[in-house]
Every structure is written in structure tokens, then in C-alpha cells.
């Protein structure tokens, strides 16, 4: 017979956690109330409050109604911003089609801005990178060339 059931019964009769010094062999049993755990975050900006088991039903209903109102307003705002983005895209495409010179000018300006963000290697790094590439290239040429010569000799032996 195991003493695990006795320790669990002792803890349950306490109504909480208890430490048995001699009867349970020093084991600790923990009895927890069933509490609704908060949901994991979904990545949305508005998060739900964790629901406490002792909270009144009216408080829960009012908080869910408020959350529903927030969600509806968030959906409306998202729809408005989507419409605004579509209109902006339509306006941008019209500007691009209207004046290609401005399009090319903006493109070149963006290219220069991106090139300024690049971290350029110094001379020593450039020589190191170039030598690594050339050594690797020589190795691969030798490998493919050797495989070609070897397979051609094998074909000549088989089909003679």
C-alpha cells in the first residue's frame, strides 16, 4: 500500500498546501482551486483581462461587452485604414504612370540611400574574400575536370 493517497487526503482535509513532518514522510501536497487560466496572447494589441474565479457574473458580462465594443471599433478602424491604403496605392500608380522622369529620379534617389547603408569592406578584407573565391573556384574546376576525364576514360574502356 502506498502512502501517496494518505498525503493527498491530509492535504485535501487542510484545504490547502500542507507539509507532513512524520506521517507522509516529509512530502508536500498541493491542492489548487480550479481557476480559469488566461489565454495566451494572440499578437493583437488589445489583450483580454484574466478572469478571476471569484469575480461576479455582472462584472464578467460588462467586461465582455466592453471588449466586444473595442473589437468592433478595431475592425472598423482596420477597414478604414485598408480603404485609405488602397486609395494611396491608386494615387501612387497614377503618379508613376503620369511622369516617368519623377519615377526614375525617385528610384535613383532610393538606390543611393540604400548604397549609403551598405558596410563596405576595406582593402584587406576585399583581398581576403577575393582569394577565397579564387581558391574555391580552382578547386571546383579541378574536381569537375578530374571527374570528366575519369568518366571519359571509363566510357572508353567499357564501350572501347
CA distance 156 to 160: 5
CB atoms within 10 A of CB 7: 20
User: pLDDT (tens digit, 9 = 90+) per residue, 1-52?
Assistant: 555 555 555 555 555 544 444 555 567 766 666 666 666 666 556 555 655 5
Indicate if the pLDDT at residue 133 is higher than 80.
yes
Cα-Cα end-to-end distance for the chain = 84
Indicate if the pLDDT at residue 137 is higher than 80.
yes
Q: What is the pLDDT confidence band of residue 123, given thresholds at 50, 70 and 90?
A: very high
SS percent in the chain: helix, strand, coil, step 5: 70, 0, 30
User: pLDDT (tens digit, 9 = 90+) per residue, 79-94?
Assistant: 777 777 777 666 665 5
Q: What is the pLDDT confidence band of residue 129, given thresholds at 50, 70 and 90?
A: very high
Full-prediction pTM beyond 0.85? no
CA distance 67 to 73: 10
φ and ψ at 144, to 5 degrees?
-70, -40
Amino acid at each position: 500500500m502506498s502512502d501517496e493517497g494518505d498525503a493527498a487526503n491530509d492535504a485535501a482535509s487542510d484545504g490547502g498546501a500542507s507539509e507532513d513532518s512524520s506521517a507522509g514522510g516529509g512530502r508536500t501536497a498541493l491542492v489548487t482551486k480550479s481557476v480559469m487560466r488566461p489565454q495566451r496572447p494572440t499578437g493583437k494589441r488589445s489583450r483580454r483581462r484574466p478572469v478571476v474565479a471569484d469575480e461576479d457574473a455582472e462584472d464578467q458580462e460588462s467586461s465582455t461587452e466592453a471588449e466586444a465594443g473595442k473589437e468592433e471599433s478595431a475592425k472598423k478602424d482596420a477597414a478604414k485604414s485598408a480603404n485609405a491604403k488602397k486609395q494611396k496605392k491608386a494615387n501612387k500608380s497614377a503618379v508613376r504612370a503620369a511622369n516617368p522622369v519623377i519615377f526614375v529620379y525617385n528610384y535613383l534617389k532610393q538606390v543611393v540611400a540604400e548604397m549609403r547603408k551598405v558596410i563596405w569592406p576595406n582593402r584587406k578584407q576585399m583581398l581576403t574574400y577575393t582569394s577565397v573565391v579564387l581558391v574555391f573556384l580552382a578547386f571546383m574546376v579541378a574536381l569537375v575536370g578530374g571527374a570528366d576525364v575519369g568518366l571519359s576514360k571509363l566510357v572508353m574502356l567499357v564501350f572501347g
